[in-house]
Amino acid sequence: MPAATDLRSTPARLLIAAALLVSLVFGVGLVAIHQFWDLRGAAVDPVAHPLTDEQAKLQVVEPAGEIVSIGTLKNVSASYLLMSCKNADEPPYQGAIYLNFDVPNVLDTPRYFASIAAAMAAKGWTEGIPPGRNPGGRTFTRNGVTAIYFRDSDKTDRATMQIYGECRDTTDHRSDTTGWVDVTGALPH
């Protein structure tokens, strides 16, 4: 029984407490470092090659026009916004287009979406994971631009395509009055 009494001694208790404290400190440190690295990324790293406002807009308007043409989208309307990648209004920003277009009836929409997907893939777009909360939708990327399209849940004869550029516009727009701007006229009819 001498071993049991040794663990009850003051030096043994101090050694056990110190070991537990060191483990706790390392555990908390690991969690803190992990959270710090999770906050890093494209939205908070310095932008190596910034875009001007016009370049950020063209980065999404040009692909939108291409998709309208190759996907033979009908009755298109589109709005553009320069949106913050960091929070509500701080730089860096990315160009974003919300494009709406007609779709056939519910049963024919999957085939129509597949034809748009095939046309985009033929032009170098890579299909990604389908968008969450939008059954039957598709996600594509090319050259830092992401395009997501899905059936509009409110209007059964319409679909929405969201096109996002890279977070590379570093111009400070915090004091600008901003809002969605109609860019339908910049797209093919």
What's the predicted TM-score (pTM) here? 0.74
Tell me the domain boundaries of the chain. Answer: 2-38, 53-186
Tokens of 133: 């909360």
Reference 64, options 152, 154, 170, 140; nearest CA is 140
What does the block give as tokens for 35? 């959270």
Q: Which pLDDT tens digit goes with each residue over 52-79?
A: 999 999 999 999 999 999 999 999 999 9
Residue 24 CA to residue 71 CA, distance in Å, equals: 57
Q: What is the pLDDT of residues 87-118, one digit of tens each?
A: 778 889 999 999 999 999 989 999 999 999 99
Q: For residues 17-28, give the mean pLDDT.
A: 79
